[in-house]
Structure 1
């Protein structure tokens, strides 16, 4: 890892941990349910889980680049998967969810960090990382395991509690058929964006080596 990469990782670490903690405090202070229920709901958002993944991975890359965890998170396949997940966070929010609510003040600031700033920072870090030519098309199916587990958890949690973190997975409002259609569309976006990242990684890594 170069010095510039490590500095960028440090920026992402500080930004991600700050945004997660700040958003948690905002949610707890404005919640109409108990702190326990509010905490469970907070960590039921794909946005929070994925930003937490970013925070943990970049912390390992920054602090332990030569250790097993740093090497694991620095692998092109792992880093690209995390980049894919956080880009989906930004894409889905800014295309489908941004206008459904209007946070104000500090809540809006943390909202922008989680959904816009951090995805862009991670994309930039990924772009500057080496060895993307090692990416393989077969990795895409493995990258879908985390979203699938998240979907199963969300549907099970929603069936038990009636809480669905996003309107497009709200079975009570839309019915299971429409929810599955929505999830199918998002799965397709995952596949296409994952393929795009692999293609870009392979293409431009070769170009840099030929320069």
Structure 2
């Protein structure tokens, strides 16, 4: 049963990411290379790709570097926390500022609603003691931190920011940093919450 959930997760996540890539290429407003860079500038895309790679590694069970990295202690909890961040930020901040239609609507819901909830459900039924190792999990905070640094540095040169709440050109550096601090704090809170919930879930299973 677990393998079926992993295969379904793999299919949903890759379909959503690849479909969004095709849509962005078809509607690009710059050259191909710049469009590809912009595509991978979205935290949503990076994190959903992590989900897709996680399920791929789980299904294939190979011993190459990337699958091994994705099977390390705490990885499932960290990825779950970050994909939930994707969903929460979208629902609270971004959903109201645009109205996708057709395939874009379907892909949008997959990336920001279905996949976050699916990953949370998968985590709930599969979390183990090794997945709630605080040291291993908190190292993953480097992921959003490095992302923000990259976006800010690149944005200062390319004048492109993937999200309005990070757009220094529009809202100023101080406000962008403030928004970043809120998101990083939310990430930390979610990680801590999953740590405590994981302990409870494991304890209930034993009983």
TM exceeding 0.5:
yes
Distance 1:121 1:132 in 2: 21
Alignment of 1:78 onto 2:75: yes
CA contact (8 A) 1:133 1:201 kept: no
CA contact (8 A) 2:7 2:55 kept: yes
Deviations 1:69-90 (A, max 9, x none): 5565344501101111111111
Deviations 1:91-138 (A, max 9, x none): 111111111111101111111111111111111111111424762334
Deviates more, 1:41-50 or 1:64-73: 64-73
Alignment of 1:43 onto 2:58: no
Alignment RMSD (CA, Å): 1.8
CA contact (8 A) 2:75 2:131 kept: no
- Map 1:25-174 → 2, pairs under 5 A: 25-64=22-61, 70=67, 72-132=69-129, 135-174=132-171
Secondary structure in 1 matching 2:74? helix
Distance 2:5 2:115 in 1: 11
Relative to the length of structure 2, the TM-score reads: 0.93
Secondary structure in 2 matching 1:164? coil
CA contact (8 A) 2:44 2:86 kept: yes
Q: Return closer, same or farther for 1:12/1:76 CA change in 2, 3 Å cut-off.
A: same
- Structure 2: runs of 5 or more not aligned: none
Distance 1:198 1:42 in 2: 31
Corresponding pairs, count: 207
CA contact (8 A) 2:13 2:49 kept: yes
1:18 to 15, 22, 43: 15
Relative to the length of structure 1, the TM-score reads: 0.92
Residue aligning to 2:196: 199
